[in-house]
Structure formats: structure tokens, C-alpha cells
Amino acid sequence: MVLLAHVRPAFKLSNGTYGSPRMTRELQDDGRPVGRRRTAWLMRENGLVARQKRRFKRTTDSEHSWPVAPNLPSRPLPVTSTASTILQGDTPPSIIKARCSSKTEPPNEQMPLH
């Protein structure tokens, strides 16, 4: 019973993944003298069954004989609009540069700044 009080919390901390060999090592690391068979018996008697890992399932068949589609994201995307095309016309380049680089709007002339 004393050993079971240490097995249950350790099993819970492992999210139910520790079987008797790992649980034995965990208990021995904590300074409890216990063997694997004793740990296995305690776990079996109290319904502590470790969850098994899933098997690896390959979902992609890279060896198929069908044609491969082109990798569209790797192509350069066309530029649809830039600051210079938005500010077209008779606007001097210095104003375009100032408008594109400014992060904030200029204060409104009509509102008093108090």
C-alpha cells in the first residue's frame, strides 16, 4: 500500500504512458527499493495500464508514377500596386518619399492642440 501511494501519482504525471519498466526506474530514482515484477504486479492489480504509442503511418506516396504538380508558391508573385503607382501624377518624388515613410498622420489644422 505504501508503494502504491507513490506509483499512482507517478503514473498520473506520466499521462498514463509509463509501463512497469519505466515506472520501476522512476521509483528507484526517487530512492524506493522496488523491482520491476513488483511494480508490474501493483500496476496490474490496480488497473494502471500504460497507453501504447501509435504506429507510424506513412500518408504520402512519393514513389507514385503520376505527374507532379508545379510548386506555385515558389514563383515570384506579380506586384499589383506600390506606393509610387498609387501616388502617380505630378507629385514630386520628395513628397512621395515623405508620404511613404511617415508612420503617423499629420495633425489636423482645424483642431486646437491643447
Mean pLDDT for the chain? 77
Q: Could you tell me if residue 89 is left (phi over 0), alpha (psi between -120 and 50 degrees) or otherwise beta? A: left
Sorted by where each begins, the domain ranges of the chain are 4-45
Q: Give the model's pLDDT for residue 60.
A: 84
| Structural contact between residues 16 and 47, judged by C-beta atoms closer than 8 angstroms | no
Tally: H helices and E strands in the chain = 5, 0
> Nine-digit cell at 96?
512621395
pLDDT digits (tens, 9 = 90+) for 82-98: 655 555 566 666 666 66
Q: Give the model's pLDDT for residue 35.
A: 92
* CB within 8 Å of 11: residues ≥ 6 apart: 18, 23, 43, 48
- Answer whether 0.85 is exceeded by the pTM: no
